[in-house]
Amino acid sequence: MEESTVDDASRKGLAPARLRLRLKRPDTIVAPGVFNGLTARLAAKHGFKALYFSGGGFANSLGLADLGVTTLTEVADAVSSITYVCKLPLIVDMDTGFGEAVNVARAVQLLERAGAAAVHIEDQVMPKKCGHLPKKELVTTEEMVKKLLAAKKSSKAGLVLIARTDARAVEGMDAAIERSRIYVDAGADVIFPEALESEEEFREFARKVRGPLLANMTEFGKTPYLSASQFAQLGYKVVLFPMTALRAMLKTADRTYAELAKKGSQKEMVNSLMTRVEVYELIDYGREESLDSELSREAQRIMGTKSPK
């Protein structure tokens, strides 16, 4: 899709439709994690076809734990700031839905208004945990079904609805498969099995659950390091890399602050920094500058037709 068409589609609120079209294509969607407009622009620069707003990444960027403590307003505002500057379809992590089924309905409406193309809801109880940590607890399958139904019924633009199940680590593989089949019946467009532990488990899950599947390729977790092409061969339509860029940025920032604290100068790091020109190109500084110049010329033209008082 050409950029002008993408912009037009976004303005008309068709981000979900664009993602649905992308899901019908034979290739697998690789969606890197972003948490603000700047990282979204940076990811878009490298040709990705969709982006992922990680709940954990966003919470961590605020200095908070990934325990579902961010609010709906905070998340919706952050999503809006991303979709304002980047037109790629954005998949949004809405954790457990910010409450019960009725809360899910409102959350979906606000995130849809903020420009989300898809949302995913998980079947953990609050406070939720990172999917790769121990001691997770699940809501009943019926409660999760109610949330999925609420999300489906409340969406006006046909948000792509992704159901995440954390059952593998709590109830076992068979339960994760059974829950996922029920979530498909409840209207989930994509199924997200969290924290599978081997290539064979991903293969088995793909054999037994119909419909598009999503794989979460996070670091330091239970899932082995598989490439996007490997996941594609296993039958997965979307692959997330939710925290990779954030962790890399944090490591670099940590080294930078250490260097500044030790030497009191950035001189030896300058060659490893993004230049002012590169940053301005990334944020399209010239477009804003051109707009300001155009408005000044137009104002001068108008004032030139008026007699001075």
CB atoms within 10 A of CB 127: 13
Q: Hey, which residues are catalytic here?
A: 52, 66, 93, 95, 120, 122, 130, 164, 194, 216
State whether residue 160 is helix, strand or coil.
strand
Q: Does the pLDDT of residue 306 top 70, yes or no? A: no
Q: What angle do CA 261, 265, 269 make, to 5 degrees?
A: 100
Mean pLDDT of 228-249: 98
**93, 120 in Cβ contact below 8 A?**
yes
Instruction: Report the half-sphere exposure of 210 (CA within 13 A, side-chain side).
Output: 5
pLDDT at 148: 98
In this structure, are residues 121 and 111 in contact, taking their beta carbons and an 8 Å threshold?
no
Q: Which residue has the tokens 């995440």?
A: 164
- What average pLDDT does the segment 66-74 reach? 95
Which whole-number Å values give the CA distances from 63 to 60, 69, 250, in the listed order? 5, 11, 12
Long-range contacts of 126-130 (CB under 8 A, 24+ apart): 126/68, 126/96, 127/67, 127/68, 127/69, 128/66, 128/67, 128/68, 128/95, 128/96, 129/66, 129/67, 130/56, 130/66
Give the pLDDT confidence of 82-133 residue by residue, as tens digits: 999 999 999 999 999 999 999 999 999 999 999 999 999 999 999 998 989 8
pLDDT band at residue 12, thresholds of 50, 70 and 90?
Answer: very low
Q: What are phi and psi of 93, to 5 degrees?
A: -80, 115
The tokens of 149 are what?
């139904």
The model's pLDDT over 16-28, given as tens digits with 9 standing for 90+, comes to: 999 999 999 999 9
pLDDT for 10 equals 43
What is the average pLDDT across 287-303? 90
pLDDT, position 308: 56
Average pLDDT, the chain: 93
Domains and CATH numbers, the chain: 3-242 (3.20.20.60), 251-304 (no CATH)
Locus of tokens 């790091």: 269
CA distances from 132 to 2, 75, 112, 214, 270 (A): 38, 22, 28, 16, 37
Residue 74 sits at the vertex; the CA angle it makes with 169 and 162, to the nearest 5 degrees, is 40
Report the alpha-carbon distance of residue 1 to residue 123 in Å, rounded: 35
Tokens 């609420």 — which residue? Answer: 150
SS3 123: coil
Question: What mean pLDDT comes out for the span 237-253?
Answer: 97
Quick one: pLDDT band at residue 287, thresholds 50, 70, 90?
confident
- DSSP conformation class of 159: P
Q: Is the pLDDT of residue 9 over 90?
A: no
101 Cβ contact list (under 8 Å, min separation 6): 143, 146, 147, 149, 150
- What share of the chain has pLDDT > 90, as a percent? 88
* Confidence band of 209 (pLDDT split at 50, 70, 90): very high
